[in-house]
Amino acid sequence: MDPERVAIFIDGSNLYHALEGTLKRHDLDFTQFVAKLCGDRYLFRTYYYNALQDASQRPDAFREQQEFLDTLRKTPYLEVRLGSIKTSQGTQMEKGVDIMLGTDLLYFAWNNFYDTAILVSGDADFAYALQAVKNMGKHVEVAYFEGATSRDLLNVADARHQLDKAFFSSLWTRRSRSRRRRSKSSSSQESGG
């Protein structure tokens, strides 16, 4: 029997804001994150979707995002898909990101590139696309943050991965800031400082 093929679809903005809002950090090791979601199944590919910051409007955010994207592009079997940011009446809005993710989710299912899709998002807009994928005979899983996810999305999922502090405990690229502070204060106490 062939191994179960998994494709992971990450709503980057949704993940970033949920990490920031619930865990107050976003230094995620994507290689380890993907490996944990995939488990012992075969990873077809991971797709990361986000909007490209406007360098003329927010140069610092653009530079930080470029550094982050350069790191992401080094993650094995991960592709970055970027929409754009448009400003309308002083408000910035992502354009094209959700439709790219939804289209890829359906296109790769239709072409039988995966057996199971794992969606990392809490956005209700993806519920119908996930249902369509299920209707094609594929399995769908949702990786989600409690309180930041649509019930409609969870109701469609065959399986769920709750993303919480315990899930991420070994998936950070650097040690926790609070641990570093504790170790600094204890070392200064030990040295008499």
Instruction: Give me the CATH number covering residue 27.
Output: 3.40.50.1010
pTM to 2 decimals?
0.87
Q: What is the pLDDT of residues 109-129, one digit of tens each?
A: 999 999 999 999 999 999 999
User: What is the SS3 assignment for the chain?
Assistant: CCCCEEEEEEEHHHHHHHHHHHHCCCCECHHHHHHHHHCCCEEEEEEEEEEECCCCCCHHHHHHHHHHHHHHCCCCCEEEEEEEEEEECCEEEEECHHHHHHHHHHHHHHCCCCCEEEEECCCHHHHHHHHHHHHCCCEEEEEECCCCCCHHHHHHCCEEEECCHHHHCCCECCCCHHHHHHHHHHHHHHCCC
Q: Domain containing 169: what range?
A: 5-190
The number of domains in the chain is 1
Q: What is the pLDDT of residues 40-82, one digit of tens each?
A: 999 999 999 999 988 888 888 889 889 889 989 999 999 999 9
